Amino acid sequence: MYMNGKGDASMLAKMKLCVITIWTFLDPIYYAFTKLTYVEDKEILRVKVTKYKGRSCVLADGTEIKKNDLLIKIHLHNVILLRELLGLQGETSKARMIYKQVKQALPGVAQYLYNHPKKTK
């Protein structure tokens, strides 16, 4: 089955929209099973507090991470991100939009960490 360039682009756009629609319905189930937490209401970032299970290591800034230290995993909310990317053309425009969204959301992550009940002083 061969289509011209215009037909291929149209078909691809419909497929992307279909995948995003399905993902939109499945995401709440994923969210429930992964125990993610919204940092702020419907932000692009979601987080999960977890314990480190690896060997002790020292980061470049001198911070030491040991077994059972509390860490935070930061997850991009892909459904929201992909919906917003649909209308953009060009990889640079898409990268800038992602950068701007993450930059706007990071203060919320810092606030979440600062107010977290399990944080160490």
Distant-in-sequence, close-in-space partners of 64: CB < 8 Å, separation ≥ 6: 56, 57, 58
Q: Taking 50 as the threshold, does the pLDDT of residue 59 lie above it? A: yes
Identify the sign of the CA torsion 35, 57, 61, 99: negative
Residue 63: its pLDDT value, please? 92
Q: Taking 60 as the threshold, does the pLDDT of residue 46 lie above it? A: yes
Average pLDDT over residues 3-32: 76
Average pLDDT, rounded, for the chain = 84
Residue 53: its pLDDT value, please? 93
Confidence category of residue 1, pLDDT binned at 50, 70, 90: very low
Q: What is the dihedral of CA 95, 99, 105, 106, to 10 degrees?
A: 140
Pairing label, strands 45-51, 37-38: antiparallel
What distance lies between CA 79 and its chain's CA centroid?
A: 9
Confidence category of residue 28, pLDDT binned at 50, 70, 90: confident
